[in-house]
Amino acid sequence: MKNNRLEVSSVLQGDHAVLSIETGWTANTSNHMIEVRLFDDENRIVSSVCSASPKLSLTLERPNLWNGIADPYLYIVEARLVEGGNVIAAKEATIGIKDLSFHPDLGVFLNGQPTALKGLKLPADGKTADKEANFEDLAQVVDQLHASGVQAVLVNFNQHSQDFFDLCEETGLIVWPDTKESLEQWSKHVLEISMS
Q: According to the CATH classification, is domain 7-95 in 2.60.40.10?
A: yes
How many whole angstroms separate alpha carbon 34 and alpha carbon 26?
9
pLDDT digits (tens, 9 = 90+) for 35-73: 999 999 999 999 999 998 899 999 999 999 999 999 999
Instruction: Decide: 175 and 93 in contact? Cβ < 8 Å.
Output: no
> Which H/E stretch holds residue 76?
strand 75-83
Contact (CB, 8 A) for 171 and 69: yes
pLDDT per position as a tens digit, 115-157: 999 999 887 666 666 667 788 888 998 999 999 999 999 887 6
Beta-strand relationship, 152-155 and 7-13: unpaired
CA distance 53 to 79: 12
Asked if 153 contacts 178 with a C-beta cutoff of 8 angstroms, the reply is no
What's the CA angle centered on 110, arms 117 and 43, to 5 degrees? 115
pTM, to two decimals: 0.87
Residue ranges per structural domain of the chain:
7-95, 100-192
- Quote the pLDDT of residue 3: 43
23 CB-near residues (< 8 Å, 6+ apart): 5, 6, 34, 36, 54, 55, 56, 79, 81, 91
